[in-house]
Structure 1
């Protein structure tokens, strides 16, 4: 049976206040008097002694080391009052010491600055899954442009098994997002788009860029006859609209068309024979 002192202690531990009658009710049995000595309060301990006691309890016992292993180097002694200086006292000395610690830790790295992303759009197709055909702009080429392209290729003996099918690409894909490295992120986006199109069976061997766009030129980095972004042989010339309206542009394109014929046949394993279009294409 639980004694009255224990019951009161349980109630106090549970946060319940014991109720004791102050008045004796009529015909009620008198309450038993309970007297016990309250436990003596613990002796006050200084904060420094409590801290040292906690540190001694948390410190693991030193591990025994073999005799052949040299003892670890002695840690650098902490300057007296260093913690107090860093927490508030001695602002000048604490600041200089903190700067020295930061410089010793390593070079300062600046937080990335958000910038506006590059903006461009282009139309992408692959000639018989071999040659990438790029046209700057958001609108696909018209039937007039496609017929002109087919006539130019047919003139030098490049026959396609099917007409090119263009896909649009726009950067950035989502508006309102800042960029930390606009050029690098745009290049990665184009590379990911071309790599994802490989599910259609594309195996790019060469890049043909009809037209010019300042932003797209920076992304593709098509210098000379090589596309640095895709690491493929490349060519850049006038747009299909300019070729459709200029006979001079068609004649200037003829040397490139002859080189395309040789590259197309050499990669496909065909013999390099004179094609039916050894003469420069006309204005039509």
Structure 2
């Protein structure tokens, strides 16, 4: 083999090795935030064992001995599956999108802070503290579950965070608080109320013209005569693979509905995310 051929072979070999290393690194980075879906997980803060089954579509089904552990596990599992969305929407609700996305979202942050979304969430928490402490307990248990996941996975929590941290200034993941959960509800309320400007305009008109005149100018939809729900029509897509897709069977038939059946607290820990295997994964408090 002449010198040129040897050099060419060496270059090709090095390039192939670099491609393999890059592919392996990319795969590792992409798979790093994937949740653990079987076995046992130690989660400080639980009061009793908890079992989590995942059905064929990955939907978690949680079995706990008490309300605190149920919502703790729900927070943990939500963070496993959707923490990036939770983190981003937390920043939305507080008017802090620019901390993640940069100056291009400053106008959105100004609008959100002017509307007072975070103030609404804080007022709700104050109301719960004074009048509905049981609701606050649920929110706190959920937050504790989210924070347990954050504590265990802070350095590998989402691909989105890794990429955005390279593009913009990295940000520190903060503890999850009850106000952040309520803030989620505020953001959802805004998403589901796209007609809010029309409602404000109608209220202003009513103040000037009166309800009867506004009802004549801008009548409501005649629900009594034209109901939104109509008789079911034949399904147009229920053919082929759609007709054959079975409903998931997440819970083993032998599973009792009286509470967790995992191993005693001395042997393992939880919450866990078990696949839809016949036996639940073990769990215990710490």
Q: TM-score range by the shorter chain?
A: under 0.3
Which one has the bigger helix percentage?
A: 2
TM-score by length of 2: 0.18
TM-score by length of 1: 0.18
* Larger-Rg structure: 1
Which one has the bigger strand percentage?
A: 1
Higher relative contact order (CA closer than 8 Å, sequence separation 6+): 2
